[in-house]
Structure 1
Amino acid sequence: MTFKWAKRHASGRLVFALITLILVALAAAPGKQTARAGQTGEKSNRNEQPSERDFYKWLQNLRNEAKKAGISEKTLDAALGDLAPVRRVVELDRRQPEFTRSFRSYLRRRVTRERIYRGRALLEKHRALLEDIYDQYGVAPRYLIAFWGLETHFGNHMGGFYAVEALATLAYDRRRADFFRAELIHALKIIDQGHVRPRDMTSSWAGAMGHMQFMPSTFNHYALDYTGNGRKDIWGSLPDAFASAANFLSRIGWRPDQNWGRQVRLPKDFNLSLATLDTKKSVEKWKNLGVQAADGTALANADTQASVVLPQGESGPAFLVFDNFRAIMRWNRSVNYAISVGHLADRIVGLPPIFFGPNAADETLSRNQIMEIQQNLNRLGFDAGQADGVAGPRTRAAIRAFQQNHDLAADGYPSAKLLERLRAQ
């Protein structure tokens, strides 16, 4: 999908007036912002009204900051000339999903047969390049193909927004202004260094760029000119894009000697409170606790540190995950995403699908239902944080504490059954 840029010159002020009306109308809308790959969350300041500021005065202030950061007047004129907020960016930033997908549903939509087959073909097509990158950075080819497939469907959907314009819109809207203002300065530095022309710097609505959807700050820390042509081109050069992704993973702790994880079978008496990323044990110790391979065979006597995760609660599949799983979560802080990357990589090289079993529920909860779970947990003295409809680590810890307190299976998983139990308290 492509989007029209905000109109320039006199029409820019008309667009701004429309944006102002939208921001006023949406200012009272509740909802927590979630961070995309490479982003960090930031609390909203709900008492501030972004519509009260003059965008053009704000832009001049931004220009002054950028000049102090060493960015040239030529770049600023080219990148910021007649900039105006983009209404579609505001709409997408404020949009909240009505329902939360189960892990099974999430995986089904991402690790598709088409994506597996295409990933296999592209792995063969680019094998020589990917093997060279593997030799230098230690990230196996199948993982780079999997990231590429999940991030942009192998380059088909890299975003149709002008990155500077999208980031300026989000930086002007004060809910996460500091984060996006910093990303905007990073984007201007990329242009100033000559890596991309302003209007060729396309991105998602949130400013994620190129084949691997790097944020500008990630680009400036990890992007590489693998081809040696003087430009770090993550939009048009697959060698640069693959090498940049491998460099990022390598520098945040990727282990060439490990996989991401594997599906396992838990014993019936397994202590579910151990199924958390906060608990790390050697594979041998997990084996001694009765954890088996998914096919029922014994795990190896290895001293590799691992954690057990249950992305769909006690009735869903269990996974033993290693340090590379944590590296994937540095890319995107979602357990479902991290498993999807690892599993797509496995399927691309012919490993079997995940077994869900007959008891794995595929229910979806609405955002309002999760908010109600959070509200009830807080009412009962289990700190779930702000009731925002997002079942993050704090909410799951509160669920686990409630379950332990009531002698329930402590899987930390939000479900309709849990909601019924909370309502009855």
Structure 2
Amino acid sequence: MEKISLFSKKIVRYLSILPVLVLLGYSTTSVASVERNISFIQYVENLKQEALTLGIDKGVIDSAFENVEFLQRSVSSDKEQPEFKMTLDTYIPRAVPNWKIQQARDAYTKHYKLLHKIGKEYGVQPRFIVALWGIETNFGKLTGRHYIISSLTTMAYEGRREALFKKQLFAALTILEEGHISQDKFIGSWAGAMGQVQFMPTSYLNYAVDYDGDGKKDIWNTPADVFASAANYLKTEGWNDQQTWGRQVKLPNDFDKSLAGIRQQKSLKEWQALGVRRYDGKDLPDFDLQASVVIPDDENGRVYLAYNNYKVLMHWNRSYYFATAVSYLSERIQHPKIVVE
């Protein structure tokens, strides 16, 4: 935790919640609260009745809401915006400092056999699993400290996306009903992201895996479940372990910027013909791959050719910065090569 203090608290907080904000479709500008004509207590009672109509067990509902509270911190964090302009050149050194690279390599070595077993089964390179783990929660060290039911109830009551957070709340109740985590340990971020991979409750229900076979999909404490859940997400969303994520490139001075964007794809041969080159100026690889030119900031900043796996990372989190940070950390795990006896 001492190393995290290299950032100001505001920067750390913003970096930690930016992925969840983008995932949920937020802009990073201020968010206006919804005016309510009922109290929080009455709103909770309405939610409990709605949960009952969805077939969720009454005992689970009553227990889950027994100690629910309004979290002003969630509302404040939702409205905050950083006091600085973020660019990749400022984001990457903060998201992927040298100490995190070393911890990622150590984690890769420590869990080598398990990671490679899971990687082979799911078709995902282990370095990307570790990189996601590191970017999301600093390898499970920063998973949040808020009761999930309180976080989601607060955001449904006060936030501008009530329907979305109610959906997440009912999914969270289902997780409790299925017995994957005890209520006292059902902790996560102020926005409701959970566990060492920071799944929102609906993502948990769709992708979480009970890899160790103990009957619980434990993304909070069990490395096997954490890694397999991340791998299952990537595989389900279209990951290809025969490809990497992409590469940094240089554009010609006359490049048509309307061709850039993750949704616009061309073959490497076509990009080559348009003057796109490797970062060192050499020709692009002679592979039969589709790729997109990604310009996270502007043409004076970093530019990438993004392959399909980069797009999958953006399914996880619709942020160029997030996908680039994960990709960059994965490269630093891979090079120099780790030799495990």
Asked if Structure 1 and Structure 2 have the same fold, meaning a TM-score greater than 0.5 normalized by the shorter chain, the answer is yes
Work out the CA distance in 2 between the residues paired with 1:288 and 1:183. 46
Work out the CA distance in 2 between the residues paired with 1:272 and 1:45. 31
Q: Give deviations 1:114-161, integer Å, cap 9, x for gaps.
A: 011110111011111111111111111110111111111111110000
1:133-282 alignment, distance < 5 Å: 133-282=118-267
- Determine the structure 2 residue equivalent to 1:60: 45
1:74-89 alignment, distance < 5 Å: 74-89=59-74
Q: Give deviations 1:24-57, integer Å, cap 9, x for gaps.
A: xxxxxxxxx995364244999969413x212222
CA shift for structure 1 position 174: 4.6
Aligned mate of 2:301, from 316, 332, 349: 316
Q: Give the 3 Å change call, closer, same or farther, for CA 135–37 of structure 1 in structure 2.
A: farther
Q: Give deviations 1:216-257, integer Å, cap 9, x for gaps.
A: 000011111000000011001111011011111111111111
Rg: which structure is higher? 1
Work out the CA distance in 2 between the residues paired with 1:59 and 1:176. 16
Q: Give deviations 1:300-330, integer Å, cap 9, x for gaps.
A: 2222100111223121222111111111111
- Determine the structure 1 residue equivalent to 2:281: 296
- Determine the structure 2 residue equivalent to 1:128: 113
Q: Give the 3 Å change call, closer, same or farther, for CA 269–107 of structure 1 in structure 2.
A: same
Q: Secondary structure at the match of 1:100?
A: coil
Work out the CA distance in 1 between the residues paired with 2:322 and 2:104. 17
Select between 209-218 and 259-268 the one with higher mean Cα deviation: 259-268
Work out the CA distance in 2 between the residues paired with 1:111 and 1:295. 22
2:33, 2:159 within 8 Å by CA — same for their partners in 1? no
1:38, 1:215 within 8 Å by CA — same for their partners in 2? no
Q: Give the 3 Å change call, closer, same or farther, for CA 40–316 of structure 1 in structure 2.
A: closer
Structure 2 residue 59 is the aligned partner of structure 1 residue 105: no
Work out the CA distance in 1 between the residues paired with 2:44 and 2:287. 57
Q: Report the residue type matching 2:252 in the other structure.
A: P
Task: Provide the TM-score with structure 2 as the length reference.
Answer: 0.88
Q: Report the residue type matching 1:135 in the other structure.
A: K
2:33, 2:160 within 8 Å by CA — same for their partners in 1? no
Q: Secondary structure at the match of 1:167?
A: helix
1:360-371 alignment, distance < 5 Å: none
Work out the CA distance in 2 between the residues paired with 1:333 and 1:320. 17
Query: Relative contact order (C-alpha < 8 Å, sep 6+): which is higher?
Result: 2
- Determine the structure 2 residue equivalent to 1:49: 35
Alignment RMSD (CA, Å): 2.2
Q: Give the 3 Å change call, closer, same or farther, for CA 281–218 of structure 1 in structure 2.
A: same
Work out the CA distance in 1 between the residues paired with 2:22 and 2:257. 29
Work out the CA distance in 2 between the residues paired with 1:147 and 1:351. 19
Unaligned segments of structure 1, at least 5 residues: 2-32, 353-425
Structure 2 residue 329 is the aligned partner of structure 1 residue 341: no
Q: Give the 3 Å change call, closer, same or farther, for CA 47–169 of structure 1 in structure 2.
A: closer
1:374-393 alignment, distance < 5 Å: none
CA shift for structure 1 position 270: 2.4
Task: Provide the TM-score with structure 1 as the length reference.
Answer: 0.71
Q: Secondary structure at the match of 1:146?
A: helix
2:20, 2:191 within 8 Å by CA — same for their partners in 1? no
Select between 236-245 and 83-92 the one with higher mean Cα deviation: 83-92
Select between 144-153 and 258-267 the one with higher mean Cα deviation: 258-267
Q: Give the 3 Å change call, closer, same or farther, for CA 316–66 of structure 1 in structure 2.
A: same
Q: Give the 3 Å change call, closer, same or farther, for CA 272–113 of structure 1 in structure 2.
A: same
1:44, 1:175 within 8 Å by CA — same for their partners in 2? no
> What percent identity do the matched residue pairs reach?
40
1:329, 1:338 within 8 Å by CA — same for their partners in 2? yes
Q: Give deviations 1:168-207, integer Å, cap 9, x for gaps.
A: 1111115121111110100000000000111211101100
CA shift for structure 1 position 278: 3.0
Q: Give the 3 Å change call, closer, same or farther, for CA 275–351 of structure 1 in structure 2.
A: farther
- Determine the structure 2 residue equivalent to 1:359: none
CA shift for structure 1 position 347: 0.9
Work out the CA distance in 2 between the residues paired with 1:215 and 1:236. 16
Q: Secondary structure at the match of 2:160?
A: helix
Q: Report the residue type matching 2:133 in the other structure.
A: W
- Determine the structure 1 residue equivalent to 2:270: 285
Unaligned segments of structure 2, at least 5 residues: 2-17
Select between 94-103 and 212-221 the one with higher mean Cα deviation: 94-103
1:13-32 alignment, distance < 5 Å: none
Structure 2 residue 104 is the aligned partner of structure 1 residue 119: yes
Work out the CA distance in 2 between the residues paired with 1:342 and 1:68. 43
- For these two proteins, the number of residue pairs brought into alignment is 320
